[in-house]
Amino acid sequence: MKALIVQEHGALEKLSLGDFPDPSPGKGEVLVDVHAASVNFPDLLVIGGTYQNLPPRPFVPGKDLAGVVAAVGEGVTRVKVGDRVLAQIEHGAFAERAVVREVLCFVMPAKMSFADGAAMGLVYLTAHNAIVERAAMKAGETVLVTGAAGGVGLACVQLAKALGATVVAAVSSEEKARLVRDNGADHVVRTDVPDLRESFRNQVFEAVGKRGIDLVLENVGGDVFDASLRVMAWCGRLVIIGFAGGRIPDVKAGYLLVKNISLIGLQSSDYRERTPEVVRKAYERLFALYEQGKLQPRVMARYPMQDYVAALQTVKDRKVLGKVVITMPV
């Protein structure tokens, strides 16, 4: 089969498109003919060799895929040959075929395209884990989403709004501001401003009042993280999702004490490995909201498999509004 192959960690140029052995499903596994796979920022870390979990080389990267079940292994009962599925995988999605665990293979709604299925994988699961599992968000709360125009950010905006929050989206351009408004944000604040520390707080308080934010879904780190701490309500919660801005922030614990603030970590992949049934229930909820028209993945661009460098570079250059998808020849 054709696949994107990591022979040696490093720059994107070290990744190659070539022939890779066809996988076959074992007990409890499913073989999927991949139609689409989405690109996530962690994929770049895996290719570069800086991610926390790295498989032996050579290997095929990619964590999100959608396609058609081609074969099933012993004991598989939840899916059958011919089913259209979305699947989660630690690596292996950037290929014409992939083997996934049955418990992480989900039959998609009939109207969901393969591109939407791939784009709804990791980012919407991450949003659900942050909002529901980690923060236990309640309808009526105020929620601030940083990096709100990215894949996870936009999923957080849509899902928080669908679950009844007042959503404040933090973005760095007018183009991103239009996008988040179109996806349900009630208020927009800008991070591309002088004196972010003071300006950010003024913008948020003008939007929601001086009581501040009940829940921050923080994707950026750095100065944005620091500014977000200053707008939190008493007993507010901040879920640490990622550090797309580059700098991992330090926190003064005294500030957390004074305002009874909770900092909550999220490693979304752990849910796949430790509590797959929680993941299944999350997708059932996400699919229901999709069918109700309350969630809609935004696929910014589709790249054929041979244009993989352009697809990955777009993510690396932080030019993505929503999701980039690689389509496989079928």
CATH number at residue 321: 3.90.180.10
Residue-by-residue pLDDT tens, the chain, 330 positions: 999 999 999 999 999 999 999 999 999 999 999 999 999 988 999 999 998 889 999 999 999 999 999 999 999 999 999 999 999 999 999 999 999 999 999 999 999 999 999 999 999 999 999 999 999 999 999 999 999 999 999 999 999 999 999 999 999 999 999 999 999 999 999 999 999 999 999 999 999 999 999 999 999 999 999 999 999 999 999 999 999 887 899 998 998 999 999 999 999 888 988 999 999 999 999 999 999 999 999 999 999 999 999 999 999 988 889 999 999 997
CB neighbourhood size of 195 (10 A): 9
Phi, psi of 275 (to 5 degrees): -135, 65
**Domain assignment of residue 34, given as a range:** 2-120+297-327
Give Cα 133 to chain centroid, integer Å.
Answer: 15
pLDDT for the residue 148: 97
In-domain check, residue 309: yes
Look at residues 253, 269, 285 and tell me which one is the last residue of a structural domain.
269
pLDDT of residue 66: 98
Judgement on whether residues 8 and 87 belong to the same structural domain of the protein = yes
Res 183: pLDDT: 97
What is the per-residue pLDDT for 320? 87
Q: Specify whether 115 is located in the same domain as 133.
A: no
Query: In sequence order, what are the beta bridge partners of 145?
Result: 169, 217
d(CA 168, CA 184): 10
Same domain for 177 and 88, yes or no, is: no
The pLDDT score that the predictor gives to residue 330 is 79
| 231 lies in some domain | yes
As beta bridge partners, residue 303 has: 326
Residues 155, 233 share a domain: yes
Strand order in the sheet with 262-265: 187-190, 166-171, 142-145, 213-218, 232-240, 262-265
Give pLDDT, residue 273: 86
Q: Domain count of the chain?
A: 2
